[in-house]
Amino acid sequence: MKPIKFSKSPLLSERLPPWRQRLVLVVLLGAFGVLIGRSLYLQGFNNEFLGDKGRARFERVIDISATRGRITDRHGDVLAVSTPVRSIWAIPEDAQLTPAQARDLAALLDLDVRELNRKLGSEADFTYVKRQLPPELAERVMALKLPGIHQKNEYRRYYPGGEVMAHMLGFTGVEDVGQEGIELAFNGQLAGKPGSRRVIKDRRGNVVEDVESKRPPLEGKDIVLALDSKVQYLAYSYLKQALEQHRAKAGGVVVLDAQSGEILALANLPTYNPNNRVKLVGAQLRNRALTDTFEPGSTLKPFTAALALEQGKVRFDTPIQTAPGKMTIGSATIHDAHMHGTLTVAQVIQKSSNVGAAKLALAMKPEDMWVMFDSLGFGAPLKLGFPGEVGGRLRPVKTWRPIEQATMAYGHGISVTLMQLAQAYLAFARDGDLVPISLARLDVPPQRGRQVFSAQTAREVRSMLEMAVQPGGTAPRAQIAGYRVAGKTGTAHKLEGGAYANKYIAAFVGFAPVSEPRLIVAVMIDEPSNGKYYGGEVAAPVFAQVMAGSLRTLGVAPDAPQKPLLMTGTEPVKEEM
């Protein structure tokens, strides 16, 4: 085959038309003209464009954190405060560390080297290495002068009261945003609004010039709670002792100011330490006084008696025959633990007779009982703003059968929270009216609330409740030296899987001093398992301890002679279940 000589190719001998050469030259000259014109325009007439592009490479708008507001008790004692901390962050592209540097950094931050390398190997422009470090530790990290490693000022929430105040205050997350309790309920007021400023940074992310402040931060507002730190500590301490003594699963105590409706204490167990955020999960976080419901048992009997008095069905001393200690309604039978015979209405409450309470209930219309329970706040959340707050269970009256009306008279077939129960007893501690309960301190307490019972009815039931803590009643262990006390025990089987289990809730709600009620204390002990489970044996002593300490802390004057308590040698009457 004859070789081809490319220099002799006929294509090379072809001549291009003259107009094509001129066209290419004109196009090239035009393009150069456009570029020169664009350059003159950008540099001479519209130099803001290039300035913007340059600033975009070096200028940054950074947030200025707002300091979260403090939470204090009613006397100004600090319960939650934000403390300055530092966070270590990195630009992964710049953080090219040697193995030795990575080991030094991981050792300082208590990190696994592989975890550190994973973070620094990210394709993101920004990554946190470790957050919320003490400032001195952050300075030690920065002293290593590692490429691409930087620090940032932040805040971390600190709770001086630890686990004592945990369920009331809640806690914040790593971004200093409320997650539980007051921190979440009042997050909008506490958080404030972050500000911003414009700065010049070099390519390594270091601020080299502070250009201007665009928006100053709006600091969070302080919250003053109704809580009294000393009363809260008393409630927590005595509740803890009771749970240990009776080997109980859980418990709660609520203390209300009967005159203003303010919440002076709210304690739950088990609890947690909000300063240690490693294991903030599970049942320990539940604010049981607001999220857990239970059948209140005999603590509801005074309301049944109050409605009967209010409607004129009975008087304080009206006799009720409870013999032979049981009562059959349809296919179900209601029992008293002891046969009491004929009791007055007051004695039905004093000795906690199920048969007597059922007879009072059946003398009234179911609709009237439902309206009363509803007006007391049962069946609906109290709307305090706490996360997870529930309203309990109050079934529609149309579904009630006679046996259900009878059992609700003594607290079965209805469920409430401890906070709802405490609030309902305001009607007896006051003159029949209910004031809204408050988490925040009130500078001007409400004078009157919503009327539920007449003042006369409230005073008569108050006398019945005082009888219940005297010898012959169910709660002589609730007595306090120097003070007249009124209250009611409750013991109920727990519902599990729709059936009653051989487990109990022991409760007591009461107030003092009876002559001019100042405090309401509600106690609930869940599953006591050390041999005793009646409210008068388990919950009433906690009430007495918390109430006695709180009255003395607040300087409430005694209203009874200082004499030995009349416990007598007999056991308290056990309330019916």
The angle subtended at Cα 522 by Cα 516 and Cα 523, nearest 5°, is: 140
Instruction: State how far the Cα of 441 lies from the Cα of 362, in Å rounded to an integer.
Output: 42
| CB-based contact 300:408 (threshold 8 Å) | yes
3-state SS, residue 518: coil
3-state SS, residue 128: strand
Query: Which strand (E) or helix (H) includes residue 140?
Result: helix 135-143
Q: Which of 82, 298, 415, 438 is catalytic?
A: 298
Active site residue 13: no
- List b or e across 147-165, with b for residues whose CB sees 16 or more CB atoms inside 10 angstroms: ebbbbeebbbbebebebbb
Query: Which strand (E) or helix (H) includes residue 38?
Result: helix 18-40
Instruction: State how far the Cα of 409 lies from the Cα of 203, in Å rounded to an integer.
Output: 75
CA-to-CA separations, 479 to 69, 167, 536, in angstroms, rounded = 41, 29, 11
Pairing of strands 59-64, 195-201: antiparallel
CA-to-CA separations, 477 to 354, 541, 562, in angstroms, rounded = 21, 5, 16
Q: Rounded to the nearest 10 degrees, what angle do helices 540-553 and 229-246 cross at? A: 160
Pairing of strands 223-224, 71-72: parallel
| CB-based contact 71:222 (threshold 8 Å) | yes
Q: Rounded to the nearest 10 degrees, what angle do helices 455-468 and 301-310 cross at? A: 140
Residue at 563: amino acid letter: K
Phi, psi of 355 (to 5 degrees): -65, -45
Phi-psi map region of 192: left, alpha, beta (phi>0 left; psi -120 to 50 alpha): left
Q: What secondary structure does DSSP assign to 163-187, as a single string?
A: GGSHHHH--B-TTS-B-SHHHHHTH
Please give the positions annotated as active site. 298
